[in-house]
């Protein structure tokens, strides 16, 4: 399963982060890491169910990927 980064939008209430984590677990996801500097987490999540997260107006969801630089 792919890994997704989930972060709480700046204007969102704090409890929306817990709701997002609960939704992930309900949909078969597994929390892999919780961020400390920003309000968010990474989750291994079924790609066919990611729409359930993307419809939440309080969080931002993006698939994790490799970061490269051009030389």
pTM of the model: 0.85
Q: How many CA atoms lie within 13 A of 66 on its CB side?
A: 2
Contact, 54 vs 5, CB < 8 A? no
How far apart CA 65 and CA 26 sit, in angstroms, is 24
**What's the confidence (pLDDT) of residue 15?**
94
What's the confidence (pLDDT) of residue 3?
A: 95
65, 15 in Cβ contact below 8 A? no
pLDDT at position 63: 92
Instruction: State the Cα–Cα distance between residues 38 and 65, nearest whole angstrom.
Output: 18
pLDDT, position 38:
92
Q: Give average pLDDT by consecutive 10-residue segment, the chain, 71 residues.
A: 94 93 94 94 93 92 82 67
């Amino acid at each position: 399963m792919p890994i997704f980064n989930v972060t709480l939008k700046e204007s969102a209430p704090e409890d929306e982060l817990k709701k997002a984590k609960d939704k992930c677990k309900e949909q078969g996801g597994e929390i892999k890491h919780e961020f400390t500097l920003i309000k968010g987490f990474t989750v291994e999540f079924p790609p066919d169910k990611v729409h359930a997260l993307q419809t939440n107006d309080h969080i931002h969801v993006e698939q994790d990927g490799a970061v490269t630089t051009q030389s």
